[in-house]
Amino acid sequence: MARPSFFGLLLIAPALAMIGALFLYPLGYSLAAAFTDPQGGLSLVNFGKAYEFYSTDILFTLFIVITSTLLTGLVSIAIAGILTLGETPWLVAALRALYRWPLFIPFIVAAQCMRTFLAKNGLMNNTFVALGIMEPIQATSLLDWRGIIITFVWKQVPFVTLMLAGAMASIDRATIEAGRNLGASRLRVLVEIVLPQVAQTLLVGLVLSFVTMLSVLSVPLMVAGSQPTMLTVDMAFRINSYGDYATANALGVISYAIAGTVAWIYLRHSVKREVQA
Amino acid sequence: MRKGLLAAGLAALLTSGAANAQTLNVATAGDQNMVDYIKDYLGPLFEKKHPGVKVVAVGTGPGDGGSQKIYEKLDAQKKAGAPSDFDVVVVHQKAAGTMVKEELLKKYRDQIPTGSLVTRETATNALGTDVSGYVMPMFHSQTAIAYNPDLVKNPPNSYPELREWVRKNPKQFGYNGIKGGMSGVAFVAGWVAAFGGDAAKLEKGPYDPAAKATWDKAMADLKEFNQNVVITPGNAGTLDMLNRGEIAMGPVWVDMFYTWKAEGKLPPTMRLKLVTPGMPGQPMYYAIPAKTAQEKLAAEFIALATSPDVQAEGIVKRFNWYPGIDAKNLEGKLDQAAWKQLFSDIPPETLAANGKPFPIGPYFNDILEAYERKVAN
Amino acid sequence: MSGEVHLSAARAQTLGPRGAARERSSPAAARVWAFGATALKMLGLAVFAFLLFGPLANLALWSVAERWYAPFKLPVSYGMRYWEVVFRPTGDAMSSLMTSIGIACLTVLVALAVSIPAGYALARLRLPWRTALMILFLLPQAFPSVAIYINVARVFYGFGLTGTITGVVLVHAAHGLVYSVWIAAAAFAAVDRDLELAARNIGASPLRTFFTVTLPLAAPGIMASAIFVFLESLDEFTGTFFVGVPQVTTLPLLLYNASMGGNYQIASITALILLVPSVAFMFVIERFLKADVLSKVGQ
């Protein structure tokens, strides 16, 4: 660690230059638009408008993204846990072959699939009715906030699981065996021995998922009606219907602040861990 | 590994990068059928008449969002001082008005032979902006209420009747709010015109910022109305729910409705109804960017596209759109069957009486904001 | 809840030989128990597969449905008509697909080329503002893309980069950089420092050590990041539109229009076509994917 840091900066320079030229520089225009009032002065008037019109949607977005992230985490832990600790070879093999398919489906296609799958008379309810699990009268449409969450979880679980299962496979098997030999159930081994060792990977997967879900437009647009809706839809609406870049950019800054906060909390946490270790 | 990737990348690019002698780039907003229309019908027709020219069509997405993208691209090009890489653009009214105001378009209509074939007001007036000379209507479209006659025996004839029907049949009517596409916006604009007072002023102006205060009652009623409707995800979402029988009625674009029916995505029994006092419709415009290098070719393309033969065969017969040029110019070009088919649900006189333009720009924005503030919140 | 039952049942079964002394159950009961556990597992797997593939089955059905409407639960008539539409001579699905794949491959190369040194620096060297730098790479994912790309397009006109493959690749690479940088940093962090020290001790230069020891050991993680960059690029719509169109058109442009417009048949077929390169790339990468590197991502 005693190497001179300018060498490190040199190595990271191309990547930084790329972000700088292709993201920060254009972002500057957006920020300027967000903080400028119609007369050209510096002001927060656009944020006032964003808050007045879209405060519900900001909360809705937070609710959707946080819930989806938590559910994604739970399901991923379950799948990765079975892959790591499962002792039924055929089950593990089948699960391993299955779980990652949604990874390849673009969000817009996922949204379209879900729109016809989760609908009141969609394929899911029709299957349940055909199997006799459900009466036709009980069928309800999931095309609202639940649909958005289901789509997000469906799409992001493979991503997190892929990373998590990798991390779990690499931990020292001896610790698992020791736990099992002491009579601990597999659930307990998973929670008390395996998870702490892979917490870091889980968190980073979830942070990346969180940020990705925050930026998806097609899913809330296509899966659910628009009242309330997510910030991406509002931004697109602001631009498409009013040509109002200022408010759209103010909403962008808010979404940016949410993502940045989550990333910052996570990185602070991991720095602390490093110092302790 | 890397070499393999690089080779794969280059090979793929080489196969796709074959250069053509002369390319006419057409960018079109709207649904996939707009792109298909140019790719499959108009493009080949034009290429046949102009050997050596290749027509490339690009879709930019449905609704005003698609037009907005074209506007943004032209605007970015203007600000960078670069020539425009679209030669012909097909846009909605709102974007056309903005583009004319910002001098992004060329005045061409008087120079083409078909320029005089259209007299309808929307050819010169786009939501209150004077666009005469800058645009030619490609086709007119109209919103209407689609309903399933198996579920709805006596469809409502007017907005008040519709409101009553929804009260008696909760969750059987669906529309897509205002953020999911123009069919929902049109329904809301129609609502304000029906219940909000001076409808003529909304269409013709002059703009009076105080007018929006008179819509409070209409908006409050709409909020109550919304309790009993299904908010669908988008223009396509409404049709989608009609397809699966989840709603029995909903506002749709007439052209989309016919396309869906033709593609087997709606029960063949579905019908349309244009309720009183009316619902808005709008044309799609052909326009030429101010800084295109292919000005002459672009004008010839539009002249072909708006010629009576193409309008009859392509627009009316193949795609079930209302013609962009005046209907009298199509006489004799079409068989009666095709003509009747187009007006089977909405007869010409109903269309003339109840087919309204959208409100002028500032009212349009006021309606949307009032909806966001009073209804959606 | 059912997961817990499921797990403990599974455990009881496999504990059989080991835990026989502890669990004084008769052989017959044990057999019933084992059978029940297997049945439960199969049921669980079936439910999982249904939830996973149900939406995809929809996709497959729509791609061959010619007519499908209420009250019919399944398509009224099937056919390949829309496949013919997608692959018709005037449609450019195939050339768009080729462009998409080409751009995705080049994007992976560009992203890796800048993120390998960056990842190494973030993992191994003392950098000021390290946390801030990591967050910086995350942001292109977080900020609404439309606003950014409009401005990027403006900048690119000045350099003549609009309408070129280079321009599109650059935009895609910047967007995918978070995956490649974060994961590459993790991959380098996972490399055992002692191995590098050993190489240095027997006289290898730092550069030689990097290329013969560190990089090969980090390669699997870097490859894993490649797949995310690849998918990201293959999926991208907005940037391609503003920077590439009309000279460069990719498959998602077609897909976007068809999907947003509710053109289910066309969209489903396009999506199925788009699956092919993704899955193919996954299989290529799979061989390089080793578990241990993934455990250090983001540290």
Q: How confident is the model at residue C17 (pLDDT cuts 50, 70, 90)?
A: very low
3-class secondary structure per residue, chain C: CHHHHHHHHHHHHHHHHHHCCCCCCCHHHHHHHHHHHHHHHHHHHHHHHHHHHHHHHHHHHHHHEEECCCCCCCCCEECCHHHHHHCCCCCCHHHHHHHHHHHHHHHHHHHHHHHHHHHHHHHHCCCCCHHHHHHHHHHHHHCCHHHHHHHHHHHHHHHCCCCCHHHHHHHHHHHHHHHHHHHHHHHHHHCCHHHHHHHHHCCCCHHHHHHHHHHHHHHHHHHHHHHHHHHHHHHCCHHHHHHCCCCCCCHHHHHHHHHHCCCHHHHHHHHHHHHHHHHHHHHHHHCCCCHHHHCCCCC
So what's the architecture of B2-140+282-349 in CATH?
Answer: 3-Layer(aba) Sandwich (3.40)
C-alpha A5 chain-centroid distance: 33
Closest in A103, A116, A249 to C147, CB measured: A249
Closest in A115, A120, A233 to B179, CB measured: A233
Q: What is the mean pLDDT of residues A55-61?
A: 92
Q: What are the DSSP E strand ranges found in chain B?
A: 22-28, 53-59, 88-91, 125-126, 129-130, 136-147, 173-175, 229-231, 249-253, 271-273, 279-287, 322-323, 355-356
CA angle C210, C215, C218 (to 5 degrees): 135
Judged by CB atoms closer than 8 Å, whether chains meet at A226 and B237 is answered as no
A226 contacts B232 by C-beta, under 8 angstroms: no
* Residue B11 Cα, gap to closest chain A Cα (Å): 23
Q: How confident is the model at residue B193 (pLDDT cuts 50, 70, 90)?
A: very high
SS3 B164: helix
C161 contacts C170 by C-beta, under 8 angstroms: yes
Distance CA B93, CA B259 (A): 22
Q: What is the pLDDT of residue C219?
A: 80
Q: How many helices (H) and strands (E) does chain B have?
A: 16, 13
> Looking at the predicted complex, does its ipTM rise above 0.90?
no
Q: Which residue of A has its CA nearest to B376?
A: A227
How many CB atoms within 10 Å of residue B365?
A: 18
DSSP code of B360? Answer: P
C41 contacts B215 by C-beta, under 8 angstroms: no
Q: What is the pLDDT of residue B17?
A: 42
Q: How confident is the model at residue C11 (pLDDT cuts 50, 70, 90)?
A: very low
Compare B192 and A134 and report the one with higher pLDDT.
B192
Judged by CB atoms closer than 8 Å, whether chains meet at C135 and A264 is answered as yes
B51 contacts A222 by C-beta, under 8 angstroms: no
Closest in C121, C135, C296 to A8, CB measured: C121
Judged by CB atoms closer than 8 Å, whether chains meet at A223 and B233 is answered as yes
Q: What is the mean pLDDT of residues B137-160?
A: 93
Taking 80 as the threshold, does the pLDDT of residue C228 lie above it?
yes
Compare C101 and B327 and report the one with higher pLDDT.
C101
| Amino acid (1-letter code) at residue A42 | L
Q: What is the mean pLDDT of residues B114-140?
A: 91
C149 contacts C171 by C-beta, under 8 angstroms: yes
How buried is residue B295: exposed, middle or buried, by Cβ count under 10 Å (0-12/13-18/19+)? middle
Taking 50 as the threshold, does the pLDDT of residue B18 lie above it?
no
Helices C165-190 and C130-142 cross at an angle (nearest 10°) of 140
Q: Which residues pair with B231 in a beta bridge?
A: B175
Distance CA A129, CA B246 (A): 16
Q: What is the mean pLDDT of residues B250-260?
A: 90
Q: What is the pLDDT of residue C290?
A: 54
By C-alpha distance, which of A156, A271, A249, A166 is closest to A209?
A156
- Could you tell me how many residues make up chain A? 277
* Residue C288 Cα, gap to closest chain A Cα (Å): 12
Distance CA C161, CA C147 (A): 18
Domain boundaries, chain B: 2-140+282-349, 142-281+354-375
Residues whose CB falls within 8 Å of the CB of residue A198, separated by 6 or more in sequence, listed in order: A164, A167, A168, A171, C295
SS3 A277: coil
Q: How confident is the model at residue C19 (pLDDT cuts 50, 70, 90)?
A: very low
Q: What is the pLDDT of residue C25?
A: 58
- Chain A neighbors (3+ CB pairs < 8 Å): B, C
Residues whose CB falls within 8 Å of the CB of residue B246, separated by 6 or more in sequence, listed in order: A119, A120, A121, A141, B174, B230, C70
Enclosing H/E stretch for A212: helix A195-214
Compare A260 and A152 and report the one with higher pLDDT.
A152
Judged by CB atoms closer than 8 Å, whether chains meet at C122 and A12 is answered as yes
How many CB atoms within 10 Å of residue C30?
A: 15
Taking 70 as the threshold, does the pLDDT of residue C12 lie above it?
no
**Interstrand relation of B53-59 and B125-126 (parallel, antiparallel or unpaired):** unpaired
Q: Render A71-102 in DSSP notation, one character per residue.
A: HHHHHHHHHHHHHHH---HHHHHHHHHHTTGG
Q: Which CATH class is domain B142-281+354-375?
A: alpha beta
- Unique residue bearing structure tokens 């203007």: B78
Cα→Cα distances B95→B38, B126, B254, B325, Å: 20, 9, 21, 20
Q: What is the mean pLDDT of chain A?
A: 85
Distance CA C119, CA C182 (A): 7
Taking 70 as the threshold, does the pLDDT of residue C298 lie above it?
no
Q: What is the pLDDT of residue C287?
A: 65
Judged by CB atoms closer than 8 Å, whether chains meet at A122 and B179 is answered as no
| Domains of chain C by start residue, with CATH | 2-60 (no CATH), 86-294 (1.10.3720.10)
Q: What is the pLDDT of residue C7?
A: 40
Judged by CB atoms closer than 8 Å, whether chains meet at B176 and A222 is answered as no
Whether B2-140+282-349 shares its CATH topology with B142-281+354-375 is answered yes
Q: Which residues pair with B203 in a beta bridge?
A: none
Tens of pLDDT, residue by residue over A10-20, are 888 999 999 98
SS3 A223: helix
Q: What is the pLDDT of residue C26?
A: 77
DSSP code of A216? Answer: -
* Residue C90 Cα, gap to closest chain A Cα (Å): 24
Cis peptide before C246 (omega within 30 of 0): yes
Q: What is the pLDDT of residue A28?
A: 87
Q: What is the mean pLDDT of residues B352-377?
A: 88
- Unique residue bearing structure tokens 């049921």: C43
Q: Which residues pair with B282 in a beta bridge?
A: B141
DSSP code of B214? Answer: G
Distance CA A86, CA C63 (A): 37
DSSP code of B318? Answer: I
Distance CA B125, CA B301 (A): 23
Q: Which residues pair with C77 in a beta bridge?
A: C67
Enter the pTM of the model. Answer: 0.85
Burial C87-111 (b: 16+ CB within 10 A, else e): eeeebbbebbbbbbbbbbbbbbbbb
How buried is residue A14: exposed, middle or buried, by Cβ count under 10 Å (0-12/13-18/19+)? middle
Q: Render B45-97 in DSSP notation, one character per residue.
A: HHHHHSTTEEEEEEE--SHHHHHHHHHHHHHHHHHHTPPPS-SEEEE-HHHHH
| Amino acid (1-letter code) at residue C150 | I
φ, ψ for residue B250, nearest 5 deg: -175, 155
B251 contacts B146 by C-beta, under 8 angstroms: yes
Q: What is the mean pLDDT of residues B132-150?
A: 93
| Amino acid (1-letter code) at residue B330 | L
How many CB atoms within 10 Å of residue C202?
A: 7
Judged by CB atoms closer than 8 Å, whether chains meet at B231 and A226 is answered as yes
Distance CA B73, CA B86 (A): 9
Cis peptide before C128 (omega within 30 of 0): no
Residues whose CB falls within 8 Å of the CB of residue B42, separated by 6 or more in sequence, listed in order: B55, B301, B304, B305, B310, B314
Distance CA B196, CA B374 (A): 14
| Domains of chain A by start residue, with CATH | 42-276 (1.10.3720.10)
Cis peptide before B44 (omega within 30 of 0): no
Tens of pLDDT, residue by residue over C252-291, are 888 877 887 778 888 889 888 888 888 888 777 766 655 5
* Residue B347 Cα, gap to closest chain A Cα (Å): 31
φ, ψ for residue B135, nearest 5 deg: -135, 155
3-class secondary structure per residue, A139-203: CCCCCCHHHHHHHHHHHHHHHHHHHHHHHHHHCCHHHHHHHHHCCCCHHHHHHHHHHHHHHHHHH
By C-alpha distance, which of C239, C187, C246 is closest to C214?
C187
Judged by CB atoms closer than 8 Å, whether chains meet at A5 and C224 is answered as no
**Interstrand relation of B22-28 and B53-59 (parallel, antiparallel or unpaired):** parallel
Q: Render B117-138 in DSSP notation, one character per residue.
A: G---GGGTEETTEE-TTT-EEE
> By percentage, how much of chain B surpasses pLDDT 90?
47
Distance CA C134, CA C218 (A): 19
What residues in A contact C149, CB-CB < 8 Å?
26
What residues in C contact A9, CB-CB < 8 Å?
121, 127
